[in-house]
Structure 1
Amino acid sequence: MPICPLLFVTTTLVMLLGCTAPDTLPRDLPTLRTVYESHLTDSPSSAPDAHLRAARTGLGTPLQNGAVELAGYTRTAYNEIENLFPTLPNPTLVMYIDPHLSEAGYPIPGYATAFTLYEKTEFALPGEVPPPAWLTATGRGVTP
């Protein structure tokens, strides 16, 4: 039985030494305000990752400023799906729950919830229903 106290002492010492590890986070990081202000100014020289940008441009692949414009393609794909497979009407019911107390007596604020009348959304076959009026008015509708 002398092994059990020795094991207990060893485990306790290992756990205590693990808790006394030095701080691993560097203290010279920029503050949140500095990062935010450098993001707002959008100047590559004042940004904290300026050395990364310089290295990236040296590789021959410059970074793009601003968002990549994908809205045209995405919007076209969305319209194509909506035109080919429109959803059949499924009314959405909105119900307001008044503020009340739970069974345990805790207050529950009022809220609104919405649910569809039918359990699942049904899609029409291509050409089964006419396209919505807003699509034909803009000239983007599918012509039969």
Structure 2
Amino acid sequence: MYLHTSTERRFLAGAWLTLALLGIGGCSTNKDKLLPHGATDMLDVWQQGTTGSAGSASGRMLLDARQALRRPLEPRQAAARNDNAAFTRTAENEIHSQFKRLPNPDLVMYVFPHLAGSDPVPVPGYTTVFPLYQRVQYAMPGERTEDY
């Protein structure tokens, strides 16, 4: 847009100056007014939010819920836990894989000397090894116990 008169130019310059001053004025603030400091620190806020005051109802309910989670195991639950111990990951069985690889025998094949390519190039005889099965197969836990 082309401005023809100086009045339009002055009006536009004044509008830009007003917007700039409002923008700068809006950014200036005092951090202590915005975020006042109190006597409590983050640890106090955390403890107050998690435990509540000792006599409050919410603090008592939270302590009761924690005590319910800390109850001892019943004998039936302990037996089920021991039964599933073989299928859980521990430092001991982490080293020895639960899922054993099933045997995949190697086949040895001898390739006789031959000519290859569009221009017959002699290729000497060689031996190559490849697995019998295309994919490696794994046994389920407890399915294969003997080592091979």
Instruction: Report the TM-score when normalising by structure 2.
Output: 0.31
Higher helix share: 2
Larger radius of gyration: 2
